[in-house]
Amino acid sequence: MFRVPATIAAIFLIAFGGAMLTAVYALKATIGFGSIAIGPWTAWPLAQTEQADPYAKAHRARAGQLLLGDAEGLVFVASSDSAGSRLSGNCDYVVSGRTPPARFWTLHTTGTDEALLQVDQSFPAAYHSQNVLKTQKGEFSIGVSGQPKPGNWLATGETSRPFKLVLTLFDTPTAGSSRLIELQMPEILREECRDG
């Protein structure tokens, strides 16, 4: 007597649960459509504008992040180095070159879940355009590692898991430009790796 309703209830439960899991996966997998890639760096120029697609709006609402407006800036994320290998906490990297024109920029690390990496408070967890050492040509070189490095050093902590680099350009003319693909972005070069 209860066999048919129990079967229907189980089917609805499986369908609803599967739909929820795929929706959560889709929101974690992408910020939305319309991304641009420049070397290892990826940006979503429309993700924070009124022209954003539904996936970008849902991702923004789920993450609870305050994103920059169209003319305020642009966020670039790198999860791999310039050779295409995934960034790993077991390896040392050098981020070098220069950023596109911007009034101010920041560089920090996050985990794959977009949460800031936990590092000792006495270690540098982020750099910005005002505290990074530069050459006379305006170029910089930042070592990214769990081990201390001379010069500009961005600590990744004791993690051996994959991580991301986040470069945010504030008040930049490139945010509203249609020629984003021609920008010159910093290189991410892998150095030595440790077993872990």
- When the pLDDT of each residue in the chain is averaged and rounded to a whole number, the result is 82
Which pTM was predicted? 0.77
The pLDDT of residue 156: 92
The pLDDT of residue 35: 73
The pLDDT of residue 159: 76
The pLDDT of residue 190: 96
Which overall architecture, per CATH, does domain 31-193 show?
A: Sandwich (2.60)
* pLDDT at 182 > cutoff 70: no
pLDDT digits (tens, 9 = 90+) for 87-127: 999 999 999 999 888 899 999 999 988 888 888 889 999 99
* pLDDT at 23 > cutoff 70: no
The pLDDT of residue 30: 53
pLDDT digits (tens, 9 = 90+) for 56-91: 667 666 666 666 666 677 889 999 999 999 999 999
Q: To the nearest whole percent, how much of the chain has pLDDT over 90?
A: 38
Split at pLDDT 50, 70, 90, the class of 140 is very high
The structural domains of the chain, with segments of one domain joined by +, span: 31-193
State the average pLDDT over residues 3-14. Answer: 82
Pairing of strands 140-145, 152-155: parallel
State the average pLDDT over residues 2-25. Answer: 78
Say if residues 146 and 156 touch (Cβ distance below 8 Å): yes
Residue 86 to residue 71: CA distance in whole angstroms = 31
Q: What is the 3-state secondary structure (H, E, C) of the chain?
A: CCHHHHHHHHHHHHHHHHHHHHHHHHHHHCCCCCCEEECCEEECCCCCCCCCCHHHHHHHHHHCCCCCCCCCEEEEEECECCCCCECECCEEEEEEECCCCCCEEEEEEEECCCCECCCCCCCCCEEECCCCCECCCCCEEEEEECCCCCCEEEECCCCCCEEEEEEEEECCHHHHCCCHHHCCCCEEEEEEECCC
Q: What is the 3-state secondary structure (H, E, C) of 85-126?
A: CECECCEEEEEEECCCCCCEEEEEEEECCCCECCCCCCCCCE
Q: Which amino acid makes up residue 193?
A: C
The pLDDT of residue 184: 84
